[in-house]
Amino acid sequence: KFGFEMESFEFLNMMQTHGFPKVMGVFTHLDQFKTMKNLRKTKKLLKHRFWTEIYDGAKMFYFSGCVNGKYLKHEVKQLTLLLSRVKYRPLVWRNTHPYVVVDRHEDITHPSKIEEDEKCERS
């Protein structure tokens, strides 16, 4: 089986609230696929799924596998070169909206706590 874990989607959702500042996907353990046809098909599916969650054309990198529990040196070197040279998509919305307007503020502190102590810590 392959795919994204629930933690990945939770993390992507958290990044979505911040406007995706510099997101890149790294796919690992690709050595566990038996055939190249299945590997190509899986890469394509994961890439399109990643693009639907982030944005079309989001940068991705593939690690082919591990040797003695470590990723291959040349792949790690290629990833660091890519990270140092990559140009991310400009954050147009965040650059044009450098402020936040608050419509209302809702106090969710339990009323009994407020009755007991008016200076209690509010959330």
How far is it, in rounded angstroms, from Cα 110 to Cα 63? 50
What global pTM score does this model have? 0.57
Which helix H or strand E contains 41, and what residues bound it? Answer: helix 36-53
* CA 105/CA 89 separation, integer angstroms: 33
Residue type present at position 95: N
Q: What is the pLDDT along the chain (123 residues), one digit of tens a residue?
A: 566 777 777 888 777 777 666 778 888 887 888 888 988 998 888 888 888 887 787 788 888 888 888 888 998 999 999 888 877 767 777 777 777 777 777 888 888 988 888 888 887
Listed by start position, the domains of the chain span 6-97
Our measurement of the distance from residue 81's CA atom to the centroid of its chain's CA atoms, rounded to an integer in Å, reads: 20
